[in-house]
Chain A
Amino acid sequence: GENVEQHPSTLSVQEGDSAVIKCTYSDSASNYFPWYKQELGKRPQLIIDIRSNVGEKKDQRIAVTLNKTAKHFSLHITETQPEDSAVYFCAASSTGGFKTIFGAGTRLFVKA
């Protein structure tokens, strides 16, 4: 069945450093790849997304890259700040069914 693998499960960085989270997906029909941030005790919220017709998208300190051939996509956070500390989820879905498969999540710690 469909699967999304996410690495690493935990990531600790110093404030100001960059953080990279990587995901792979199995369903070749996937064409929408959102990233959600979940702060402790809160709901997941979208921070950035990318569609299969684009290889890269950037929004201020956050960027996402997509390699459809390799079925890889990654989240890049530059100049990390303590408020970036949260759990980040990647996900993949397709137009055919809208079923969204989430990765297991990455717990990011940004040390001040």
Chain B
Amino acid sequence: DAGVIQSPRHEVTEMGQEVTLRCKPISGHDYLFWYRQTMMRGLELLIYFNNNVPIDDSGMPEDRFSAKMPNASFSTLKIQPSEPRDSAVYFCASSPVGGPYEQYFGPGTRLTVT
């Protein structure tokens, strides 16, 4: 298995633009998590899904952020419009059913909003 796949690995965009981050979880994992990591705030859970259904989105900072999981092998995190304070590394992670168990993190997307 290739592990959790995220794209793009780096994204540089201008303030006000829409940004879409993508994630493919490990096959067979029923849980998918989106995190944001910054020096100031550490590793923050934004939202997580179980069987493609959002379970807890209380970490989503504001309405500019949205996440979807249309099927078991794909999820997106969208920021519209983007702001400089959204600059961070965004990680996607997946976990198998029956846990809680280890979360397998993707390589992350480094987002820079200028």
Q: Give the B-binding residues of A (Cβ under 8 A).
A: 31-32, 34, 42-46, 49, 89, 93-95, 97-105
Contact = CB atoms under 8 A, between A and B. Distances in A.
B33 A100 contact: yes
B12 interface: no
Instruction: Sort chain B's interface into a size bin.
Output: 20 to 34
Contacts, number: 51
Interface of B: 31, 33, 42-45, 48, 50, 55-56, 91, 95, 99-103, 105-108
A44 B31 contact: no
A97 B95 CA distance: 13
A88 B53 CA distance: 30
Contacts of B45: 99-102
5 smallest beta-carbon distances between A and B, as pairs: A43-B105, A32-B100, A46-B102, A93-B100, A102-B43
Contacts of A93: 100
B59 to A, nearest CB: 9
A105 B100 CA distance: 21
A98 B50 contact: yes
28 contacts: A32-B99, A34-B103, A43-B91, A43-B107, A43-B108, A44-B91, A44-B105, A45-B105, A46-B102, A46-B103, A49-B102, A89-B43, A93-B100, A95-B99, A95-B100, A97-B55, A97-B56, A98-B55, A98-B99, A100-B33, A100-B45, A100-B103, A101-B45, A102-B42, A102-B43, A102-B45, A103-B42, A104-B42
